[in-house]
Structure 1
């Protein structure tokens, strides 16, 4: 109970719960829409989804300051590739939160002359760039992990006969693929924060891909991806050691 109270006392924790609720409503609405006797339930889910989405905008107000701070921190990352990816990603995140704030101002009626569709497209584009750059960073970190696991395995295995799987990687092309997948699995299992961050970014990128017309997904796929991403976000907020750290 104390852990739950500590989690909900954080703004990020409450935002993750709201986000999970929003995408759960989207997923359930998609699943129930084809059923003729579920119109009232679908309407209630749609209203709840809209209300939760509006509530999340309040939690995001001021996030542009955190994004600027994250940009300043990423500049000091020692490794060149993560430094470049994270700095550019956080700059796009700054622009995204600026667009998001402008859209909030438009939604509450403080400035009715704002072109909603244009700002929404800009927000989706910069959010897409932010996620894409984070995925590049994830792939780079994964390649380092796979290289390390391969080195450790090579040190343990002095000859092909000592291979725990009983075959040499060079025997057949299919065995090369199996070896690669096994290496990938071992690398991700050894580094759970990298696995969670990669899954989160892959799930999150579905939404801007659909908004920008790059890859169309239905509401069910986007809802499922958003729910999985939100659950990962809840895990990283509740257990900070599960969040991928910069070096």
Structure 2
């Protein structure tokens, strides 16, 4: 119970709980949409999803400032690849939140003259660019982990022993494939935060891709991916050691 209260007390925690509930409603509505006996329930789920989406936009007011501060911190990183990826990702996150806040202001009638479709498309583009640069960071970190592991003498002995136990895999499929997968899996196992962040970013990709029409997915796939991403985000709040750094 203390863990739940701690998550709820954080603005990020509330947003992720709302997001998980929103996508769970969308997923349930998609599954039940062809069941005419559940039409009333489907309508309620869609209404709840819309209300949660509007509530999340209100919770995200001010997130642009947090993203800008994160970009300032990223600029000071000594690793130039991480510096470039994280700075670009956070700048695009800030632009996404600015577009999102403008759309919220238009929806509640605070401002006029905003082209909803244009600003929504711009928000999705910024979100997509942020995800792409975040995934680039994940791939870079994974490659660094693999290089570090490959140079470890104890691990090399362990990998050689594994390959000697199943030489037919290497000979029959693709040379070095088994060694690569063994190295990759053990590298991710040593840093579960990197694995979780990679899965989270991959799961988030269908949302902007679908909105921009780059790769259309059905509502069920988008909702499921969004739910998985949200649950991972909640887990990283409950267990900060599972949150990727920097």
* Shorter-chain TM band: over 0.9
Gaps of at least 5 residues in structure 1 are none
| Structure 2 residue 165 is the aligned partner of structure 1 residue 166 | yes
CA distance in 1 between counterparts of 2:185 and 2:158 reads 22
The CA deviation at 1:16 is 0.7
Would the aligned equivalents of 2:170 and 2:177 in 1 still touch at CA under 8 Å? no
Name the structure 1 match of 2:224.
224
The CA deviation at 1:22 is 0.3
The CA deviation at 1:106 is 0.5
Q: Deviations over 1:175-232 (max 9, x none)?
A: 5222222222111111110011001100111100111111111110110100000001
1:1-247 equivalent positions in 2, closer than 5 A: 1-152=1-152, 156-157=156-157, 162-163=161-162, 166-167=165-166, 171-174=171-174, 176-246=176-246
TM-score by length of 1: 0.93
CA distance in 1 between counterparts of 2:236 and 2:159 reads 41
Q: Which moved more, 1:29-38 or 1:222-231?
A: 29-38
The CA deviation at 1:154 is 6.5
Relative contact order (alpha carbons < 8 A, sep ≥ 6): 1 or 2 greater?
Answer: 1
CA change 1:175–1:236 in 2 (3 A) is same
SS class of match (2:208): helix
Q: Deviations over 1:114-155 (max 9, x none)?
A: 110000000000000000000000000011111222222666
CA distance in 2 between counterparts of 1:182 and 1:36 reads 49
CA distance in 1 between counterparts of 2:7 and 2:164 reads 43
SS class of match (2:245): coil
The CA deviation at 1:172 is 4.7
CA distance in 1 between counterparts of 2:233 and 2:158 reads 42
Would the aligned equivalents of 2:170 and 2:178 in 1 still touch at CA under 8 Å? no
Gaps of at least 5 residues in structure 2 are none
CA distance in 2 between counterparts of 1:155 and 1:62 reads 46
CA distance in 1 between counterparts of 2:159 and 2:75 reads 44
CA distance in 2 between counterparts of 1:104 and 1:179 reads 50
CA change 1:132–1:156 in 2 (3 A) is closer
Aligned CA RMSD, in angstroms, stands at 1.9
Q: Which moved more, 1:180-189 or 1:83-92?
A: 180-189
CA change 1:165–1:51 in 2 (3 A) is farther
CA change 1:172–1:48 in 2 (3 A) is same
